[in-house]
Amino acid sequence: MLDLTMRAIQASLDGLAARQRLSAENIANAEVPGYLAEKVDFESSLREAIGSGDLSDLALDTTKSLAPTGLNGNNVNLDEESVSLIDTGLRFQMMTEAMNAKFHILKTSMRRD
């Protein structure tokens, strides 16, 4: 059974993976007329879920970007999406390291000397 910390880390990893997928989709559609970029927000619902101690029903909110569109009706900003991918990758790596540290603590606590 996962404790609250491990569930929070897993929820973060799920949210970051969703953000990475949407950023990649946005980049792939950067030249498609009328395409509106999408964004993922999970941090606010994760914060509330951690506060209540109930991570069973965590929402990944996906919204269309309200950024202005170009002449073709597309609003993907490649610079923003590239920075988002880098930021998301670093956050994913940090959460992976946090999960590994948690596993290391559990492994150490179960060791017999």
* pLDDT > 90 in the chain, percent: 73
Tell me the pTM. Answer: 0.87
Domain count for the chain, please give it: 1
Of the two residues 45 and 37, the one the predictor is more confident about is: 37
Sign of the C-alpha dihedral, residues 82, 84, 86, 89? negative
Q: Which domain holds residue 27?
A: 4-110
pLDDT in tens, 61-77: 999 999 999 999 999 99
Q: State residue 10 phi and psi, 5-degree precision.
A: -65, -40
